[in-house]
Amino acid sequence: MTLANLNFSAEVAAIMGRLGVPATSLAGGTLSVRSPINGEKIAAVAEINAADTKAAIDAAHQAFLEWRLVPAPKRGELIRLLGEELRAAKADLGRLVSIEVGKIVSEGLGEVQEMIDICDFAVGLSRQLYGLTIATERAEHRMMESWHPLGITGIISAFNFPVAVWAWNSALALVCGNSTIWKPSEKTPLTAIATQAIFEKAVSRYVADGGKAPANLSTLLIGGRDIGEILVDSPKVPLISATGSTAMGRAVGPRVATRFGRSILELGGNNAAIVCPTADLDLTLRGVAFAAMGTAGQRCTSLRRLFVHESVYDKLVPRLIQAYGSVTVGNPLQSSTLVGPLIDEGSFSRMQKALDEAKAAGGKVSGGDRLMQNEAADAYYVRPAIVEMPAQTGPVKDETFAPILYIIKYNDFDEALALNNDVPQGLSSSIFTNDLREAEAFVSDRGSDCGIANVNIGPSGAEIGGAFGGEKETGGGRESGSDAWKAYMRRATNTINYGKTLPLAQGVKFDV
């Protein structure tokens, strides 16, 4: 079947119907939704206005005031039910992710699995929001640290992980006792509407089982930048978790800081891998291929820069160029496809611009050309590109959200490490080596300066158990596993005197 014969509108309506979204939510609105697979307009959804956004913030604040009183393990029960509902909806929601974003089938399903995984994590976490007991210098005193719900968590998410990023934030925020408000990318409202419907199913079951869940615990705002700005500026939203470009973070971070709000920023990545003389080249080839071409290079963790030791360059690079030339690009719903479309025309133009700049800087380009234009004029498929660069110059230091892999030859390990770190972004990184010293140096204090540093796997495809995020222009935020939950709560230090005297700290005397 050619792209021109595909027709998704009816399938989208059927999926939405099964997930509990009425057909009226898919038509008649001002925000048109297209599938990047064939460019077809698949829905037109309604957008919220400023006055209703403000009212929604008030309502979510009210929900927070009630939800924080529910014991954390009971809050966890709601997330357990959400995990069950997501398991039941996995096939439908995964397919919708593929249709709306253009991910291949296993990546669409994988995204929903990531949501399920974080729900499981958050359920356990709901019994582990541990504080500390701290030794105090005063007799008959106890000092402790306790963690409390914070307030509304505002979530701003990007098109490329349209639902998993909501889940990382919401699952944690909700067990921590917060309510949430979500402003998804304007490119992906359908998966957001579907996710909200799945959440509401979990709430209905929770309430039917006797659980106390206030209305408006999770609010979805479909709208443009103006709606995001209201959220960012509202003093009723103590935490903004924003995922997107560095430009977006540069706008959001200072605005939130101006009102002394907190933000978790997950911004651009420009992730590298170093291939050392002892690397297992078969494994490296697969690791690099998935990290650089997977999701059509549209992950914030995608591999964009490859530093290859001169002794293995001629063994690896021709094989990579061959793999790039033969990888199946096309309809992501077909099981043989590994690379689906770019999200839209803007993304295609930015890719072409970066390739032109790379050529001007002395790069040798393989691939990068547009494919299947005759089948679907409004869909943007590209042959993933490899660019052999003489140095880390031109566009190499920028993040271009497309499948371009810049390759640079090196001969000294420390030089490769310096190149890894010599970009403004600091999200993810990896090294392929069987040399213990190189591997350990890479993950050491003098090694990669990124939030994620891997050995013998690529930089993308993190699992939810670790803290996810990066340094420098990536924004410094951490989401998902480990102790990332602490950013969603407020910390109190409590000192309790159970004696009959009042000794003061630091030996201060103040006897009245």
Looking at the Cβ atoms of 161 and 166, the one nearer to ligand UN1 is 161
Q: Does 271 bind ligand UN1 (CB under 6 A)?
A: no
Looking at the Cβ atoms of 159 and 413, the one nearer to ligand UN1 is 159
Looking at the Cβ atoms of 325 and 346, the one nearer to ligand UN1 is 346
Tell me the H-state helices in 162-234. Answer: 164-175, 189-208, 225-233
Q: Which stretch binds ligand UN1 (CB under 6 A): 202-210, 222-230, 414-422, 457-465?
A: 457-465
Q: Does 166 bind ligand UN1 (CB under 6 A)?
A: no
Residue 281 beta carbon to ligand UN1: minimum distance, rounded to whole angstroms: 23
Check if the beta carbon of residue 256 is closer than 8 Å to that of residue 234.
Answer: no
**Are β-strands 262-266 and 239-243 bridged in parallel, bridged antiparallel, or unpaired?**
parallel
The two structure tokens encoding residue 94:
């995964």
Q: Does 462 bind ligand UN1 (CB under 6 A)?
A: yes
What gap in Å lies between CA 301 and CA 292, rounded to an integer?
9
Looking at the Cβ atoms of 207 and 247, the one nearer to ligand UN1 is 247
> Per-residue x/- marks for ligand UN1, 94-133, CB under 6 A?
--------------------x-------------------
Residue 439 beta carbon to ligand UN1: minimum distance, rounded to whole angstroms: 20
> Per-residue x/- marks for ligand UN1, 237-266, CB under 6 A?
------x-----------------------
- ∠ CA(35), CA(40), CA(44), 5° rounding? 80
Closest listed residue to residue 102, CA positions, set 304, 298, 385: 298
**161, 199, 324, 488: which one binds ligand UN1 (CB under 6 A):** 161
Task: Verify whether residue 266 is a known catalytic residue.
Answer: yes
Closest listed residue to residue 234, CA positions, set 245, 219, 246: 219
Count the neighbouring beta carbons within 10 Å of the beta carbon of residue 482: 14
Looking at the Cβ atoms of 3 and 427, the one nearer to ligand UN1 is 427
Looking at the Cβ atoms of 308 and 462, the one nearer to ligand UN1 is 462
Task: DSSP letter for 505, please.
Answer: G
CB hemisphere CA count around 305 (13 angstroms)? 36
Beta-ladder partners of 496: 142
Beta sheet of 132-134, edge-to-edge order = 132-134, 141-149, 489-497
**Are β-strands 385-388 and 381-382 bridged in parallel, bridged antiparallel, or unpaired?**
unpaired
What gap in Å lies between CA 123 and CA 353, rounded to an integer?
46
Q: Does 188 bind ligand UN1 (CB under 6 A)?
A: no
The position carrying tokens 């230091």 is 397
The values of phi and psi at residue 481, to 5°, are -85, -155
Beta-ladder partners of 407: 306, 388
**Amino acid letter, 477:** G
Q: Which stretch binds ligand UN1 (CB under 6 A): 63-71, 121-129, 455-463, 493-501?
A: 455-463
Looking at the Cβ atoms of 167 and 213, the one nearer to ligand UN1 is 167
Looking at the Cβ atoms of 395 and 461, the one nearer to ligand UN1 is 461
Q: Does 420 bind ligand UN1 (CB under 6 A)?
A: no
Q: Residue 454: is it exposed, middle or buried by C-beta count within 10 angstroms (0-12/13-18/19+)?
A: buried
Check if the beta carbon of residue 10 is closer than 8 Å to that of residue 23.
Answer: no
> Per-residue x/- marks for ligand UN1, 393-412, CB under 6 A?
--------------------
The closest residue (CB) to ligand UN1 is 462
**299, 304, 305, 472: which one binds ligand UN1 (CB under 6 A):** 299
Q: Does 160 bind ligand UN1 (CB under 6 A)?
A: yes
From the list 266, 399, 473, 479, the catalytic residue is 266
Residue 243 beta carbon to ligand UN1: minimum distance, rounded to whole angstroms: 6
Residue 149 beta carbon to ligand UN1: minimum distance, rounded to whole angstroms: 26
Check if the beta carbon of residue 305 is closer than 8 Å to that of residue 392.
Answer: yes
Residue 158 beta carbon to ligand UN1: minimum distance, rounded to whole angstroms: 6
Instruction: Quote the distance between the C-alpha of residue 95 and its chain's center.
Output: 19
Residue 387 beta carbon to ligand UN1: minimum distance, rounded to whole angstroms: 22
Alpha-carbon torsion 23, 24, 25, 29, what sign?
positive
Number of residues that bind ligand UN1 (CB under 6 A): 10
Closest listed residue to residue 306, CA positions, set 384, 243, 369: 384
Strands (E), 61-158: 132-134, 141-149, 153-156
What gap in Å lies between CA 491 and CA 409, rounded to an integer?
48
Q: Residue 503: is it exposed, middle or buried by C-beta count within 10 angstroms (0-12/13-18/19+)?
A: middle
How many residues in total does the chain contain? Answer: 512
Q: Which stretch binds ligand UN1 (CB under 6 A): 51-59, 296-304, 411-419, 470-478?
A: 296-304
Looking at the Cβ atoms of 224 and 465, the one nearer to ligand UN1 is 465
Q: Does 287 bind ligand UN1 (CB under 6 A)?
A: no
**188, 448, 460, 474: which one binds ligand UN1 (CB under 6 A):** 460
Q: Does 300 bind ligand UN1 (CB under 6 A)?
A: yes
Q: Does 461 bind ligand UN1 (CB under 6 A)?
A: yes
Q: Which stretch binds ligand UN1 (CB under 6 A): 45-53, 295-303, 386-394, 502-510?
A: 295-303
Site for ligand UN1 in 325-344 (CB under 6 A): none
Site for ligand UN1, rule CB under 6 A: 114, 160-161, 243, 299-301, 460-462
Active site residues: 266
